[in-house]
Each structure stands twice: as C-alpha cells, then as structure tokens.
Amino acid sequence: MAILLAVLGALLLEHFRPLVQPPAHYRAFARYSDALRERLDGGEPQQGLLAWGAVVLPFLVAAFAVHAWLAGLSPVLSAVFDGAVLYFTGGFKYYVRAAEAVGGALGTGDVAQARAALERWSNIDGMQFGPHDVARVGTERVLALSHRQLFGPLFWFLALAFAGPVGPVLYRLSSILARRWEGDDQFGYFARQIFHWLNWPVARVTALSFAIAGDFEDAIFCWRTQAADWPDAEEGLALAAGAGALGVSLGSPLPLADTILPRPELGLGDEAEAQHIASAVSLVWRSLAIWLALGVLFVVAGWAT
C-alpha cells in the first residue's frame, strides 16, 4: 500500500507542480559528474567504471539510508520520501506541455511557430522541416521521453521496492551518465553498458504497455520487424511499438540544414499529423493507467489473502 501511495503522490505532485527543465538538481549533478570525469578520465574503461561508482553509489546509499530511517519511524514518512524522490527522478509532464505547444501550433497551420517550439523542446534545427516532419519528430519525442522520464523510473521503483527509492535514482543517474559520457568511447563504456542493462527490461515493458493501450497486433508487428533497425535498440522498441499502436508512420529520413539524416521507417498507416502528437500523449496516459490498475489489483489481492 505504501508503494502505491508513493507512486500516486509523485504523479499528483508532477501533475500540479511539473518540474522546470532542466531542473536545478539535474544541472548540479551534471556539473558534479563532469568535474569527476575530468579528474579520473585517463581513457581507460576501468577508470570509467571507478568514476561511475564514485558518482552513483553515494546517492544510492543515501537514498536507502534515509528510506530505512524514515521507515523505522513511520511507513507514511518513508512513503512520502519515496514519492518525493520518484517525483524528482521523473519529469514527463513538462514534456507534455512542450508537445502540446508543438501540436497546437501545427494544428492551426502555423508551421513556423511549431518548428520553433520543437527546436526549443528538442534542440534540433528544424528550419527545413515540413509539417509532417514536425509531427513525426514531436510524436517520436513523446514516446521516447515517456520511456525514459516516466516508465523507466517507475519500473525500477517497483522492481526494487524493497530498497525504497534506490531504483529510480539508479535508473536516472545511469541515464544521465550514459548520455553525458557518450563521446568518451573508452571512459564511458561501462556507463553505457550499465544503462543498457537497466533500460533493457524498461523498453520491453513500455512497448508492451503501448501495445495493450493501442492497436495490439500492429504494435507487436512493428516491434518484431522494425525496432532492431533503430540506432538506439531500446528506444527503437518504444518508438516502433508506439507507432504501431497509434497506426502512424514515424522514423524516415529528416532534412537537416544542407543534409538529410537517414533514419529507418517505423510504424504503419497514416503519415504523421498534428493530432498524432496528442494521440501519443493519450497513449502514454492510457499505458500509465494500466500500470496503476495493476497496482491497485495487487493491493486488493494482498488484502484478500
């Protein structure tokens, strides 16, 4: 019951008080991780593993220690703490607002404003984008960010519930380090591998959630036949299943400045339009509702035994 209360509390808090991006705690952690990399980066994978441990382990120990201390005082206090940590390791609602800004401008035919909103949201230079390009990228970002910002922390919070908020802290910090150390081929090797292991089950649970909440048959078909072609295998699962569930064509090459960015095709059906961005947001909320319904069923089953 405490776990469900923590999840509901975090979701309600994010609904009414969405995080401002980038959050102050993210910027502080990014500076800390960069400073430690400068001290330890000698170009060797072992040094990257040492740096990863030096960055992440203190936060994991602190999260577990506070949770255990509060649990000894009151289960309610530990649930409040767990929910607060889950709130700060997520942040999907902010991206919903950004998606609504892109979709709203595109829906009124203001492609220039939609491109500008998309660029602020994604840091992608979309000046060469047509309306379908903007809709495709906007829909893709909703699906991809729900995977990392919502379902990832939530999955690991539930999977490691015995350890309090250790799961979402581990997932979020690993995600940040995998991205920030991406250019360091040797030094960042273990950071990328650890996040790959953590992200592997999340991607599959997210894809299955999209399939259940949308067109199941097409989602599974796209998952099986298209996901492996995407450069990021885990992200490809979420995008392919989400595109199939929505019945929309995503992926495909994008015009960027004086070049064309090659990308595989994902999904089936209609070319992306403004309404598909809103449909992607709706798909994410339906998927989350499935997670919450299952959580309630587990709680009720526990009371009945």
DSSP for 126-188, please give it.
Answer: -TT--HHHHHHHHHHHHHHHHIIIIIHHHHHHHHTGGGTTHHHHHHHHHHHHHHHTTT-TTTT
Tens digit of each residue's pLDDT (9 = 90 or more) over 217-236? 999 999 999 999 998 889 99
pLDDT of residue 244: 95
C-alpha to C-alpha distance for 133 and 300, rounded to whole angstroms: 46
C-alpha to C-alpha distance for 96 and 102, rounded to whole angstroms: 10
Tens digit of each residue's pLDDT (9 = 90 or more) over 94-118? 788 889 999 999 888 888 898 888 8
| Residue with tokens 């892109």, as numbered in its chain | 102
Q: Which residue has the higher pLDDT, 287 or 4?
A: 287
- pLDDT confidence tier of residue 68, bands split at 50, 70 and 90: very high
**pTM for the whole structure:** 0.91
Q: Which residue has the higher pLDDT, 44 or 203?
A: 203
Is the model's pLDDT at 202 over the cut of 80? Answer: yes
Q: What is the mean pLDDT of the segment spanning 241-258?
A: 89
Is the model's pLDDT at 75 over the cut of 70? Answer: yes
Is the model's pLDDT at 303 over the cut of 70? Answer: no
Is the model's pLDDT at 277 over the cut of 70? Answer: yes
**Using N-to-C axis directions, what is the helix angle for 189-213 and 274-304, rounded to 10°?**
90
Q: What is the mean pLDDT of the segment spanning 247-264?
A: 86
Record the tokens describing residue 56, joined without a space.
């992440």
Is the model's pLDDT at 33 over the cut of 70? Answer: yes
pLDDT of residue 300: 64
- Return the number of other C-beta atoms located less than 10 Å from residue 275's C-beta: 15
- Domain of 219 in residue numbering reads as 2-304
Record the tokens describing residue 134, joined without a space.
């903007």
DSSP state of 200: H
pLDDT of residue 43: 67
Is the model's pLDDT at 59 over the cut of 60? Answer: yes
Is the model's pLDDT at 21 over the cut of 60? Answer: yes
Total domain count, the chain:
1
